[in-house]
Structure 1
Amino acid sequence: MVVMSTLENAARTRAGADRGRRTIVSFMRRSGKLDARLARAWSEHSAAYLLKLDQAPAGLGVDPGLTVDRGFLETAFGRRAPLTLEIGSGQGENVVAAAADHPERDYLALEVYEPGLAHTMLLAGKQGLSNLRLARTNATEFISAAGPGALDEAWTFFPDPWPKMKHHKRRLIQPALAADLARALTPGGLWRIATDIDDYALHVHEVMDADPAWRNLGDERVSLAIEHVGKGTAERAAALPHADFLESTRFPGRILTNFERKGLVAGRAIHDLTYQVVRAGDGELRPR
């Protein structure tokens, strides 16, 4: 086997303990002041692009009773089309480029930081894109509120690695989110993940490779340390026991951003991982 059974057993144990709703968020609340250019973009384009999911002032949740189902999305986009969800869209370069290249698809970007959302609006507004919507929301709450099969594909590119060992529990990709997303995606739907942190790649494998709701579509062997390291201890990884894992070739729909370019310049390896929702033996998706 490519992935060591010890990691699978550990992941199963953690998954069973973490099926309840997560209360630890994967982001820090911080204010982001908009400069004049971004403030103008927000004023001009938020009505067209921004979905309001939480009526509370500065709320980042989803109102109780709101289900983000196909009907909600058809109303938001004004049509029915395959939907790609980007979890943590940053400055919006990837999702805007994809929406421009694929007008036959709809794209929904989730981001908590207003400057990033405003920059995404700026890019989208310049091209007059009509197949893109944004939401300022906690992704875990949004996906929990998503109806079964509401999404066709999900992207998580370069999530915050939370490098300190004591903060690893705050990493976005967790068993509870994987379970919710497996339900929210159509059968056969994909979750594309990229990171430039080796330890985060190990974390993703631990969460996803042992989960029977997901199939790892990777076809390239990558060697990773099988013990976690963190900020200040990453240099220990080379001397730790390693195992082979399956990862994917670079997703051609992911453009090279300045963020990724900096990682490459720093000598970090880019890990692309692709997982597909699969059916359990009874012919139905594994229940939530």
Structure 2
Amino acid sequence: MSFTDYIKKMLTGQSRSSDSAELSASQTTSSKTEKSGPTILAIDTASTSLSTAVLINGEVKGELYEDMERGQAEHLMSFISQSLEAAGIEFDAVDGIAVTVGPGAFTGMRIGLSTARALGLARKIPVVGVSSLEAVAYGVSERDQQGRNILVALDSKRNEIFAQAFDGRKRPLSAPECVAPRQALMIAPPGDTLLAGDATPRLLTAAAHAPDAFYDTTAPGLPRAGNVARIAASRWDSGENLAPVPMYLRAPDAKRIEDQGPKKDK
């Protein structure tokens, strides 16, 4: 069953008995083929872009990416459908869904997470979270890295940035933080450090008089769904993926009415 047909059935509330039969047939067919690792649908909407991809036997297929500050909710389903079609599989063949949990834009995080949860619930398959910061670090090439540490900096659209340090094997060296650019530089361990992420220009400016050397990379400044899928697959059996809940590092811009103004005396 195509992804579009599957969504139509979800929306119309049709019985899943036929779905179960189709899934059973699909599994019988796929069992004849050697499978190496899970088939993962990956989604990223946590920043100012939209990206989807499918990982099959360790190979990324059907990856789509587009800068998109608004309109992610309207385009996400179409992107998923196109990625599945380009990968040459139907939605029934997906073993799990990986989604970025932030840090990033509040609305974007909610779009990706709510969609991933709904699809996972409908199919009864796992939904796992991946940090946006780690997904960017994963995109740094070995040619750029050469064993050096990485400092990922993502734009929060405010004075602060989201930052986290990683070692030469892309393992976290610090917790994700929301800090000023100069404070972010202090997160990096001593020595030469590569900068990655869309807030890199702000860090390079702040690093002009830093005692250590900081270098730009050719890595994409925002997460790519293909890397999100690879990270999720590497932790699939160990269960070390993050829970599919938003990673908030700062308070939301919009406050509830009862949170505004002075507190009333009881």
TM-score by length of 2: 0.32
TM-score by length of 1: 0.31
